[in-house]
């Protein structure tokens, strides 16, 4: 009978002694635990692991050796400290194995199979080092340790399956040792290796995918897509999206396999192995007949091991050609930190063409450190297609072929950038610029020397600071772009393109001793300067069109030749500035330089014309300008300090753009110097004293403050010569003018000719010491001149006296200090002209001088002005001494200035102020008349309800407006009252052609009290008011503070009414006015005045239709006494004595009022219309003398209106039995004047 053992869930252990049996048995493990106790277990028992169960072997710290066979589909769990060693043939076991404790060691190649997925838990060990050749399992997972020894662990992960292993794989040897451990990832599934570590040996990916997503992973040797199976290539893939994968060596597609790396993020670092072996630290993409591809679109591939990184390494005769490909795109970055990246087979033995490589870069960065190298080919062919992204390289790192290999390379450049990094780049590489693209070369502040050749149909862009030197002839046919730094081009180095385009300020250096010619068009962008450098001893010529809004700068000590005549279409037409900083800018074609440009010549530069005509906008700077024989240079504006040499038969035309400029340089030579344009050219200094050519001033002004002592100056029609300089001779043609000096000054000549119709503008004034000076033409001894001053018939002399003259002083305007004389052709004299109607000029002609003497006219000055007031003050000023500043300023006034100046001098504001004060007297007597009329009104219809003057009577309501309820008769009105009136007034009077218009405004108040004495009402009143007034032309103003006191009385005989009063006002008057000669000054006066007035009215009162009416007549006399005063503030101040002005007013008018109920109050509407006539001193006068001493003169102010229409409208409201409030408007409209006012009244009766 067979003996059977079945484990149960409660099986705790098995004694370790054991024994041998001869029967058959079944040992089924269905989920229980075998726990070793006592001593280590050693058994050859066969066991079946029941499907859908997981059985545990717990070594319990003692260990177990199981040499029997496992079978079945159940899972096995290794638990506990200690080692479980499996030595049987477990091929029939298909379950999974999980290590949760201790070590699982296999010693039989068949102890585990491809059906067994193995999970190596944390802290556990999976040891295959004891197998003869290794073991092949299913999926591997976990984070424990795997011991390979020198054996092979192969894991097969099925399609669609993903496993993750983050533990450690240990090998007893390195990949280049004679024997070493190996790990192979097979199957079509995915193994995630985040955080894994494989020390030694090789990690093969012969199928499916290995993936790195996070953490730090280290593998000494990784081979992706290696080998063949049944002559078919194995394919493997590495995906990197995050984390860091550190490798000592990397192979992609080796030994006939196909490998691919897809990196979208993270870092792959080939870090080397610290010099442990020469075979360590490389990367091969495509090796030994394999096909490798490395795609990086994100993250970093860092090659830093110091080894060789190869694309397309050699093949031996067992395989076809190796192919390696590196594709850089997106944001991917490949960094060769230390080592050599070689495209094409680098191995020197074997058939040379069995390894080809390529780099395709459409984006990202390829970085090559200065102590590293990028070889474009070796024994095999290589290609680098740089169509996008950036190649960062410097030093001598860019090399065409490795070790003179037999392979060929292609370096194809598109819309990408080479950025020099670390150190200046030097290379012999040839490159092809792709059609329709522009390749950018960024020297990055370091520089580059490109000794190879550029070909193709693309363009080249130079950017970044630093120099790019193209030392070989190039055949590329695209355009050349300069966007920064310097591009140095040997003969033919700029290819066959049609344009050189300056996108930013950059330098193009070219030219050689034999001369270099560039035929490309040059385009200069906005805000950009094209700097063209020709070194010492070299010549460079531009024959293409120069265009664009930018400017051009010539540097270097050599010669830049512009040889594109303007008759070649299109002509040069750039608009920016041209600067000749160093060397020579030579023009050999007519207008070969843009006619729109402004030229600045630096101190070490020369601007040269060789037998041609050239127009430019302007010339400035301190260098040299050479106008060759027969050349013509036309300059819109000449300034600066350049040395300008005019060859024989040459011509320099300046000033055509009409600007005012100053030239401090030197003119030399024998050509002709021509001044054109409406502006003024100032020549300073003596640098041009050796210029022997002619000077022609055709248009505008030449201010000669320097020397043209060897030049004959001709001034044409409409042109002007001025300044304090020296000329050999001067000829004024008809219509020409001379104006020596600069306020005033002297022009020195060897001879001077005033042609018929020419003009001498002579200016007069005073020097810093107050002495009289004038313009002068000094004729002195200069070689080859006559020493004469020739005056021809019709010559004109214009005297400018605006800066002042001294009466009686003789001014020399022409002085002969040579052997010559004043020559008057046919006794010609100047036609003298000046604008000073009060001045008389006497011109005297001597043999050696022409002098001018001034005096005031003898006719009254009043005949030269427009108004009575102006004439009065003009005659007064005429009476002053000739050396008086006011006289001196007045006598030189121009015709257009006379009226205004004397108007300002006249002081008419003082006279007009009298009229203002007299006119304001109306407010006080008006308030008194209004008060007395209110008291006279027997119907109590005004602002105060009191008894009539002669008798008491009750107040009644107005007949048309009976009071509701028929109120009782009012008691007798109070006999006394106190009243207050506030008022404001504004008005104006138009000018009358003598005195100017005046605006005024007044405000104030009155307080009065009165009472009945028998049949007479007696009262007293006082008050204060202030008045301001101003005149716009002449500019003057004033104000008056007024204090008032008066008495009044009134009575009536039945309907006949009498009112009368007298008052006195104390006036404190201030005036301010502006005068402009002899200088601007503000003149002020403060003085006292007193206004006395008496006045009376007769009226007749009657009622009709509910209204009270009173026709009346009035009479008033006003007398204003003004104290004398003296103004302060300047030499135009006036003085005056006291005087009196009296005016009489008569008035004829009608008053009316009516009362009505306003709610519970009694209201009275009132009005007055009248006509007033004034006579007496209605035109106020003021008699003055100039304080500095003049005859008396009298001016008239604005007249007081002789006839005025009067209107007055008001409303009173009795707010209680004793208090009344009133508001009224008054208007006065007269001859060219008007006044308006508002009044408010408060009355209290008792």
Q: Which pTM does this prediction carry?
A: 0.71
Report pLDDT for 566.
Answer: 84
Q: Which two tokens stand for residue 512?
A: 């050689």
The three-state DSSP-derived secondary structure of 45-106 is CCEEECCCCEEEEECCCCCEEECCCEEECCEEEEECCCEEEECCCCCCECCCEEECCCEEEE
Q: How many Å apart are CA 1082 and CA 1129, to the nearest integer?
A: 6
Report pLDDT for 178.
Answer: 67
Q: How many Å apart are CA 965 and CA 968, to the nearest integer?
A: 9
As a residue count, the chain comes to 1246
Nearest to 170 by CA among 192, 153, 187: 153
Report pLDDT for 255.
Answer: 87
Q: Which residues of the chain have pLDDT under 50?
A: 1-21, 275-278, 938-971
User: What phi-psi label fits residue 195: left (phi over 0), alpha (psi between -120 and 50 degrees) or beta?
Assistant: left
What sign for the dihedral angle of Cα 863, 865, 870, 875? negative
The enclosing H or E element of 914 equals helix 908-920
How remote is the C-alpha of 919 from its chain's centroid? 62
- Kindly give the pairing relationship between strand 1233-1245 and strand 976-989: antiparallel
Peptide bond into 550 cis (omega under 30): no
3-state SS, residue 885: helix
Q: How many Å apart are CA 731 and CA 717, to the nearest integer?
A: 11
Q: How many Å apart are CA 70 and CA 90, to the nearest integer?
A: 5
Residue 2's Cβ-count burial label (10 Å; 0-12, 13-18, 19+) is: exposed
Q: How many Å apart are CA 857 and CA 584, to the nearest integer?
A: 65
Q: Lay out the sheet containing 70-72: strands in order across.
A: 5-6, 27-29, 47-49, 70-72
The enclosing H or E element of 895 equals helix 895-905
Report pLDDT for 513.
Answer: 87
- Kindly give the pairing relationship between strand 1107-1122 and strand 1081-1100: antiparallel
* Domain 908-1245 architecture: Beta Barrel (2.40)
Backbone angles phi, psi at 919, to 5 degrees: -60, -35
Report pLDDT for 147.
Answer: 97
The enclosing H or E element of 841 equals strand 839-845
Backbone angles phi, psi at 228, to 5 degrees: -130, 160
Q: How far are the Cα atoms of 543, 572, 939 from residue 567, in angstroms, in the given order?
A: 13, 10, 108
- Tokens 């092949």 -> residue: 136
User: What phi-psi label fits residue 248: left (phi over 0), alpha (psi between -120 and 50 degrees) or beta?
Assistant: alpha
- Tokens 């950025």 -> residue: 419
3-state SS, residue 926: helix
Report pLDDT for 351.
Answer: 54
Asked if 190 and 208 touch (Cβ cutoff 8 Å), the reply is yes
Asked if 807 and 882 touch (Cβ cutoff 8 Å), the reply is yes
Q: How many Å apart are CA 372 and CA 1157, to the nearest integer?
A: 116
DSSP H stretches of helix in 632-746:
none
Nearest to 529 by CA among 575, 567, 592: 575
Peptide bond into 545 cis (omega under 30): no
Asked if 192 and 213 touch (Cβ cutoff 8 Å), the reply is yes
The three-state DSSP-derived secondary structure of 474-537 is CCCCCCEEECCCEEEECCCCCCCCCEEEECCCEEEECCECCCEEECCEEEECCCCEEEEECCCC
Peptide bond into 570 cis (omega under 30): yes
What sign for the dihedral angle of Cα 590, 594, 599, 605? negative
Residue 1002's Cβ-count burial label (10 Å; 0-12, 13-18, 19+) is: buried
Q: Using CA atoms of 644, 645, 649, 653 in order, give the dihedral in degrees to the nearest 10.
A: 0
Nearest to 386 by CA among 471, 454, 312: 454
3-state SS, residue 32: coil
Q: 431: which strand partners?
A: 454
Q: How many Å apart are CA 528 and CA 516, to the nearest integer?
A: 24
Q: How far are the Cα atoms of 429, 486, 507, 667, 854 from residue 464, in angstroms, in the given order?
A: 21, 9, 11, 42, 74
Q: How many Å apart are CA 510 and CA 561, to the nearest integer?
A: 12
Asked if 229 and 196 touch (Cβ cutoff 8 Å), the reply is no
Q: How many Å apart are CA 893 and CA 476, to the nearest integer?
A: 79
CA angle 702, 707, 710 (to 5 degrees): 105
In tens, the pLDDT along 257-301 reads 999 999 999 999 998 665 444 455 589 998 888 899 999 999 999
Helices first, then strands: H and E counts in the chain: 5, 106
In tens, the pLDDT along 451-489 reads 999 999 999 999 999 999 999 999 999 999 999 999 999
Q: How many Å apart are CA 1114 and CA 1149, to the nearest integer?
A: 8
3-state SS, residue 903: helix
DSSP H stretches of helix in 259-418:
none
3-state SS, residue 831: strand
CA angle 968, 973, 976 (to 5 degrees): 160
3-state SS, residue 725: coil
CA atoms within 13 A on the CB side of 55: 27
Q: Which residue ranges make up each domain of the chain?
A: 1-138, 908-1245
Q: How many Å apart are CA 713 and CA 731, to the nearest integer?
A: 6
Q: 1061: which strand partners?
A: 1048, 1095
- Tokens 């308006």 -> residue: 1236
Nearest to 853 by CA among 776, 799, 789, 803: 799
DSSP H stretches of helix in 107-206:
none
Report pLDDT for 128.
Answer: 97
Q: 1128: which strand partners?
A: 1084
Q: Which two tokens stand for residue 121?
A: 């838990």
895-905 and 868-878 helices cross at what angle (nearest 10)?
90
């Amino acid at each position: 009978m067979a003996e059977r053992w079945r484990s149960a869930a409660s099986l705790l252990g098995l004694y370790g002694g054991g024994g041998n049996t001869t029967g058959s048995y079944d040992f089924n493990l269905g989920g229980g635990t075998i726990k070793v106790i006592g001593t280590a277990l050693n058994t050859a028992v066969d066991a079946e692991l029941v499907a859908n169960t997981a059985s545990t072997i717990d070594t319990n710290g003692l260990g177990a050796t199981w040499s029997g066979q496992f079978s079945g589909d159940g899972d096995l769990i290794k638990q506990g400290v200690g080692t479980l060693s499996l030595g049987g043939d477990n091929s029939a076991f298909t379950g999974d194995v999980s290590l949760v404790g201790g070590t699982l060691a296999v010693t039989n190649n068949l102890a585990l199979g491809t059906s067994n997925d193995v999970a190596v838990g944390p802290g556990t060990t999976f040891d295959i080092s004891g197998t003869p050749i290794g073991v092949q399992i299913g999926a591997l997972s976990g984070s424990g340790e795997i011991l390979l020894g020198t054996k092979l662990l192969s894991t097969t992960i099925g399609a669609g399956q993903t496993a993750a292993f983050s533990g450690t794989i240990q090998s007893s040897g390195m990949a280049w040792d004679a024997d070493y451990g190996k790990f192979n990832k097979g199957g079509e599934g995915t193994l995630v290796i985040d955080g894994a570590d494989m020390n030694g040996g090789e990690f093969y990916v012969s199928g499916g995918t290995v993936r790195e997503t996070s953490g730090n992973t280290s593998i000494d040797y990784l081979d992706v897509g290696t080998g063949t199976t049944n002559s078919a290539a194995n394919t493997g893939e590495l995906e990197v999206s995050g984390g860091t994968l550190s490798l000592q060596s990397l192979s992609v597609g080796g030994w006939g396999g196909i490998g691919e790396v897809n990196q979208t993020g993270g870092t792959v670092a080939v870090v080397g192995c610290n010099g442990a072996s020469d075979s360590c630290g490389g990367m091969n993409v495509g090796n030994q007949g394999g096909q490798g591809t490395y795609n990086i679109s994100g993250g970093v591939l860092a090659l830093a091991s110091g080894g060789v990184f190869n694309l397309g390494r050699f093949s031996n005769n067992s395989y076809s050609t190796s192919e390696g490909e590196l594709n850089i795109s997106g944001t991917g970055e490949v960094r060769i930190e230390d080592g050599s990246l070689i495209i094409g087979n680098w191995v020197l033995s074997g058939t040379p063409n069995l390894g080809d490589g390529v780099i395709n870069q459409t984006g990202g960065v390829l970085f090559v450190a200065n102590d590293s190298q990028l070889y474009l080919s070796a024994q095999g062919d290589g290609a680098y297609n740089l169509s996008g992204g950036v190649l960062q390289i410097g030093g001598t790192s860019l090399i065409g072929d490795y070790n003179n290999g037999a392979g060929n390379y292609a370096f194809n450049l598109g819309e990408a950038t080479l950025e020099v990094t670390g150190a200046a780049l030097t290379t012999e590489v040839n490159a092809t610029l792709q059609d329709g693209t522009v390749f950018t070369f960024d020297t990055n502040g370091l520089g580059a020397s490109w000794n190879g050749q550029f070909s193709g149909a693309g363009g080249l862009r130079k950017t970044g600071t630093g120099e790019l030197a193209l030392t070989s002839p190039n055949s590329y046919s695209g355009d050349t772009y300069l966007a920064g730094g310097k591009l140095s081009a040997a003969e033919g180095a700029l290819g066959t393109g049609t344009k050189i385009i300056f996108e930013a300020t950059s330098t193009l250096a070219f030219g050689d001793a034999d001369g270099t010619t560039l035929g490309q068009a040059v385009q200069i962008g906005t805000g950009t300067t094209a700097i063209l450098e020709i070194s010492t001893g070299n010549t460079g010529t531009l024959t293409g069109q120069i265009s664009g809004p930018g400017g051009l700068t010539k540097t270097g000590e050599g010669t830049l030749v512009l040889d594109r005549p303007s008759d070649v279409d299109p002509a040069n037409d750039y608009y920016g500035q041209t600067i000749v900083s160093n060397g020579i800018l030579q023009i050999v074609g007519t207008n070969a330089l843009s006619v729109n440009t402004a030229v600045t010549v630096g101190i070490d530069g020369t601007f040269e014309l060789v037998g041609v005509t050239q127009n430019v906008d302007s010339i400035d700077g301190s260098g040299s300008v050479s106008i060759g024989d027969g050349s013509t240079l036309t300059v819109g504006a000449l300034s600066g300090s350049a040395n300008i040499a005019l060859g024989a038969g040459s011509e320099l035309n300046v000033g055509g753009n009409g600007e005012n400029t100053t030239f401090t340089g030197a003119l030399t030579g024998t050509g002709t110097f021509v001044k054109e344009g409406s502006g003024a050219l100032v020549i300073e200094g003596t640098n041009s004293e050796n210029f022997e050519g002619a000077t022609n001033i055709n248009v505008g002004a030449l201010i000669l403050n320097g020397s043209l002592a060897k030049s004959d100056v001709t001034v044409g029609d409409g042109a002007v010569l001025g300044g304090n300089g020296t000329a050999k001779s001067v000829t004024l043609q008809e219509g020409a003018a001379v104006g020596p000096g600069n306020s005033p000054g002297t022009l020195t000549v060897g001879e001077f000719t005033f042609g018929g119709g020419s003009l001498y503008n002579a200016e007069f004034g005073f020097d810093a010491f107050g002495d009289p000076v004038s313009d002068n033409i000094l004729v002195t001894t200069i070689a080859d001149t006559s020493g004469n001053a020739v005056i021809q018939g019709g010559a004109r002399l214009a005297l400018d006296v605006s800066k002042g003259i001294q009466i009686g002083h003789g001014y020399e305007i022409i002085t002969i200090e040579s052997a010559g004389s004043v020559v008057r052709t046919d006794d010609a004299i100047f036609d003298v002209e000046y604008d000073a109607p009060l001045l008389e000029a006497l011109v005297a002609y001597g043999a050696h001088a022409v002098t001018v003497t001034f005096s005031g006219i003898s006719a009254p000055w009043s005949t030269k002005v427009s108004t009575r007031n102006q004439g009065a003050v003009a005659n007064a000023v005429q009476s002053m001494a000739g050396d008086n500043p006011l006289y001196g300023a007045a006598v030189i006034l121009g015709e257009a200035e006379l009226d205004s100046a004397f108007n300002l001098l006249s002081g008419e504001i003082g006279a007009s102020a009298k009229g203002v004060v007299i006119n304001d007297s109306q407010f006080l007597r008006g308030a008194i008349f209004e008060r007395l009329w209110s008291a006279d009104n027997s119907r109590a219809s005004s602002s105060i309800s009191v008894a009539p003057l002669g008798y008491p009577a009750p107040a009644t309501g107005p007949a048309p407006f009976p009071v509701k309820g028929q109120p009782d008769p009012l008691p007798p009105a109070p006999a006394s009252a106190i009243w207050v009136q506030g008022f404001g007034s504004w008005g104006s009077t138009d000018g009358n052609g003598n005195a100017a218009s005046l605006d005024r405004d007044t405000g104030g108040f009155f307080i009065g009290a009165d009472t009945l004495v028998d049949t007479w009402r007696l009262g007293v009143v006082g008050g204060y008011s202030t008045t301001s007034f101003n005149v716009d032309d002449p500019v003057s103003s004033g104000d008056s503070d007024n204090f008032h006191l008066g008495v009044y009385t009134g009575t009536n005989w039945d309907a006949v009414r009498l009112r009368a009063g007298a008052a006195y006002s104390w006036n404190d008057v201030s005036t301010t006015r502006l005068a402009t000669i002899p200088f601007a000054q503000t003149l002020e006066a403060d003085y006292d005045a007193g206004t006395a007035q008496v006045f009376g009215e007769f009226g007749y009162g009657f009622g009709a239709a509910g209204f009270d009416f009173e026709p009346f007549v009035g009479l008033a006399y006003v007398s204003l006494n003004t104290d004398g005063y003296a103004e302060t503030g300047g030499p135009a101040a006036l003085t005056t004595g006291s005087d009196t002005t009296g005016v009489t007013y008569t008035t004829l008018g009608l008053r009316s009022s009516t009362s009505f109920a306003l709610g519970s109050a009694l209201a009275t509407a009132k009005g007055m219309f009248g006509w007033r006539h004034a006579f007496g001193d209605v035109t106020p006068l003021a008699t003055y003398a100039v304080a500095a001493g003049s005859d008396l003169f009298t001016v008239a102010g604005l007249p007081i209106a002789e006839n005025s229409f009067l209107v007055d409208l008001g409303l009173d409201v009795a707010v209680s039995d004793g208090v009344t409030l009133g508001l009224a408007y008054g208007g006065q409209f007269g001859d060219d004047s008007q006044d308006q006012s508002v009044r408010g009244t408060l009355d209290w009766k008792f």
